[in-house]
Every structure is written in structure tokens, then in C-alpha cells.
Amino acid sequence: MEENMSRNDARKFLAQGTASALTLALGLTFAAQPAFAETAKAADPAPSASAAPSAPAAATNPGLSVDPTPAAPVVAPAPSDGPSPEAPAPAPSEKPAAVVFKDVPQTHMFYQEITWLGETGISMGWPDGTFRPSQNIERAAIAAYFYRMAGSPDVVLPKQSPFTDVAPSDPFYKEIVWMHQQHITTGWSDGTFRPHDSVTREALAAFFYRAANMNDDAAPAQDPFTDVTSANPFYREIAWFKAQKITTGWPDGTFRPHEPVTREATAAFVFRFAKI
């Protein structure tokens, strides 16, 4: 089991007024990893990237459905003043919207969501200008996303790392510490955080659930997906994830809770979560 934290330990951070929908900032990746089971008290489920709608996603990113995502226009430059009446107006130029990441063309199914993620600073992408949408999101990257979504608040760093495998010199040490302080994650029972492990669909659902401070949300009377029953330690979180239309699962009615989440799916999830 990945975490020993009770869902009731989760605390609200987005509703604290420290961040707005457009100030979210995090980068996620997904590398296939073996499914992990967590106790009902686990604190760090590895949610999957069901950012996907009900239609199957690209072959490289199974598990992503293509249900419509909330419309969010790409930020466009402010219109400039038109020419004076004496001067003839120049022919309008039709420039395509700027691509934030060079490996995410406008034809990409999650172009809008990924571009938004870059424009808001939630994801910085890679130094070479790529986003690498089909890669799995890592736990360290997820911590960074949630931290940026909260407005990148000041963090009082502890004298000792809360996790045995996360050192103060690690790139996302501050973000991981913050995530732990907010009770969004407690790590694994052996004292590790496993920053480079991929985040699973069920874990991501739990992270969002806790971030929204929905700890007391009642469990549904009916199973949200054919492969998610009340026996699943994150049953309530996954049901909430679906009820908020952040995910619709797969066309066959499954959620596939133990599958890893890709960066593109994460972008879709974060985008939809910000529109709630």
C-alpha cells in the first residue's frame, strides 16, 4: 500500500484563496509502473490520467477518452488599435495560434489543454521546448503541478526531509514538502515518496479530491465504473472524479485505476479541474 494517510487528513488548499484558476502551475509525467494498492487510509494513491473522456485516446496513450473538455480559449494577444480613417487598413493576416510546445501541434487532441498548461505556468515543459505528452507523469512532477496550482506559496522547510528518498538538493524538494504539509500525500508506509514512480489514475483522483477539500463527500450508492467497487480504497475519490466530469472513463465502462497517467492526460485533468 502506498500511503497510510486517512482521507480525512486531506486539507483544502485551492479554496484558501492562494491561487486562481489561471495561476495553476505544475508539470506531470507518466511512466508505466506496476499498479499499487493502497489501504483505505493510504494518502498517496497514484491517480490515473483519466483526463480522458469516453472516447479512446491515441494508441500511444491508452486510457484517455475523448469526451469534450471544457471550452477554454487559448490566450490571444490583446487587439491593437486599428489604423486611422485616413490610412487604408492592411489586409488581415491569419496567423495560427502560437504553439507553446513544439511537439504539440494544433491537431493534437489535447492541444488546448496542454497549451493552457504552458501559458499558465503550471508546466514548464522540457529545456528543448518539448512537452512529451505521451510520457507518464511522475510523482515529483505532480507535486510541482499542485504546488503551482496553489500559487507557489512560501514553504517553511523542515530540518529533516519528510521522506527518506527525497533530499533537500532534489529539484522538487520544496514542492514535495509542501504537498506533504498539505496532507495531499503522506508517501508510502516505508517512509519513501518514490518521486520517479508514475502516478496512477486512482492516485491522481485522490490527489485532486484532497486538493478540493472534499474529504467528507458521501460515497455514491452505485459504482461509478465496472472495475471500481466499494472495495477500492479510493472508491469515493474516483466517484467524485467522475461526478465532476474531470473523467468519464473508458468506452467499455472501466476506469482502469492502476494504469499510469500520461502528461497529456494530466493536462486535461488539471484543465477540467480548474474549471469546476
Residue-wise pLDDT tens digits, 168-216: 999 999 999 999 999 999 899 999 999 999 999 999 999 999 999 887 6
Mean pLDDT of 123-151: 96
Label residue 222 by pLDDT band (50, 70, 90): confident
Closest CA to 205 of 19, 34, 52: 52
User: Mean pLDDT across the chain, nearest whole number?
Assistant: 74
Whether the full predicted model's pTM is greater than 0.85, yes or no, is no
- Helix, strand or coil for residue 181? helix
Query: For the chain, how many helices (H) and strands (E)?
Result: 6, 0
Longest dimension (CA), the chain: 75
Label residue 141 by pLDDT band (50, 70, 90): very high
Q: Please count the CA atoms within 13 angstroms of the CA of 136 that sit on its side-chain side.
A: 24
Residue-wise pLDDT tens digits, 69-78: 333 333 333 3
User: Which three three-digit cell numbers place residue 142?
Assistant: 505532480
Map out the domains of the chain as residue ranges: 1-71+98-276
Q: What is the dihedral of CA 4, 7, 9, 14, to 10 degrees?
A: 130
For the chain, percent of residues with pLDDT exceeding 90: 59
